[in-house]
Amino acid sequence: MIQTTTALGLTEDEVHDVMETAVRAPSLHNTQPWAFRISDAEIELHADRTRQLPVADPSGRELRIACGAALFNLRLALLGLGIKPLVSILPDPDRPDLIAVVRRGGARRATPEQRRLLEAVPRRRTNRRPFSDAEVPATARYALRRAALDEGTWLHLVTDPAQRIELGDLARRAHGVQIADPAFTAELDHWTGHGEPRPDGVPATAGGPLPQPNSTWVMRDFTRGTGRQQTAFEAEPLIAILTVHSDGQREEIRAGEALQRVLLTATTHGLAVSFLSQLVEVPEVREAMRRLVGGLRPPQVVLRLGHGWPVPLTPRRPFEDLVRTDAQEDQEDR
């Protein structure tokens, strides 16, 4: 087990469990672009810039979304241990990669909903395979929108047929732009579809099958180079766009927290989810999508939701690589 000090009055085992929950968060291509510094009084969550994707994510927007998702898990894990987390987001303007500092804010028992979300953390995964044609029921749709709202964001469900057609066109356009860029495909190939054991990236086993050429919603998530047969995907998945109040790093972190709450809520409703990030990664397409959904609110994440079948768990980096403790730093200073 990793050498941890205790933090926030927790035992070493509890700190270990909290970290394990935090890093189960999703991240673009499973880069896991986070690092933690643990001391008696606080847990610092840092962005690990060495894991930012320069082509797909030049501004670090998706890196901050991933860190926000890890922060949501961290909050949940502390609530699960009866601790109210006191969170300062971007507390130091001179250290922009310090995403958040979490302190102990007294005793607080997790609500039944928070318990359900916490229990869903190890079951949640990105599902790039075809879904069934069963509709997402109204109760689940309501819960997903509520989850986004509770984290200060908005989940736009794309139900208008004309809007869906236009969004499909935009998704294809964005995919075309990205796939024509050799730097983008090199980055994608570096991080996804590999067969060797690795603690990061998206293994081939987690990729989807090759979609049919006329497919709208599933485009870059298949495992390339395997010569697999083309597969039909569901005709009408639920498509949802997570938007925030305004541009800026703070709102991107908030988007990550909300994303994780939405994903865990989906898991508790038995729903499968995958991402359509080409729509937010290509700037002109992202702008067109913002206008399409009729608002000033910047879109941060686009999701495909439905009923799927089980998919394997993806790996995570060992704690030794991502957790620093006071004790370690004292030792190095000596």
Ligand X SMILES: Cc1cc2nc3c(=O)[nH]c(=O)nc-3n(C[C@H](O)[C@H](O)[C@H](O)COP(=O)(O)O)c2cc1C
3-state secondary structure of 177: helix
Give the other-Cβ count within 10 Å of 135's Cβ: 13
Q: Which stretch binds ligand X (CB under 6 A): 21-29, 77-85, 133-141, 157-165?
A: 21-29
∠ CA 237-151-28, nearest 5°, is: 55
- Of 103-111, 133-141, 172-180, 274-282: span binding ligand X (CB under 6 A): 274-282
Q: Give the one residue of 4, 215, 243, 277 binding ligand X; rule: CB under 6 A.
A: 277
If we measure between CA atoms, which residue out of 45, 64, 89, 54 comes closest to residue 323?
45
Binding flag, residue 221, ligand X (CB under 6 A): yes
CA torsion, points 158, 65, 89, 262, in degrees to nearest 10? 40
Applying CB under 6 A, which part among 8-16, 110-118, 122-130, 318-326 lies near ligand X?
A: 122-130
Q: Of 57-116, which residues contact ligand X (CB under 6 A)?
A: 62, 65-66, 69
Q: Is 322 a binder of ligand X (CB under 6 A)?
A: no
Give just the sign of the alpha carbon dihedral 97, 320, 8, 313. positive
| Interface residue with ligand X, options 274, 282, 285, 306 (CB under 6 A) | 274
Task: Calculate helix-pair angle for 161-179, 182-191, nearest 10 degrees.
Answer: 90
Residue 28 or residue 101: which is nearer to ligand X going by CB?
28
Q: Is 202 in the site for ligand X (CB under 6 A)?
A: yes
Query: Is the Cβ of residue 45 or residue 83 nearer to ligand X in the bound state?
Result: 45
CB of 147 to ligand X, least distance (A): 16
- In angstroms, rounded to a whole number, what is the distance separating the alpha carbons of residues 266 and 260? 10
Q: Which of 7, 8, 14, 29 binds ligand X (CB under 6 A)?
A: 29
Verify binding: residue 30, ligand X, rule CB under 6 A: yes
Q: Could you say whether residue 314 binds ligand X (CB under 6 A)?
A: yes
Phi and psi at residue 64, in whole multiples of 5°?
A: -70, -30
Contact yes or no for 272/307 (Cβ under 8 A): yes
> For binding to ligand X (CB under 6 A), which residues are involved?
26-30, 62, 65-66, 69, 125-126, 128, 202, 221, 274-275, 277, 301, 314
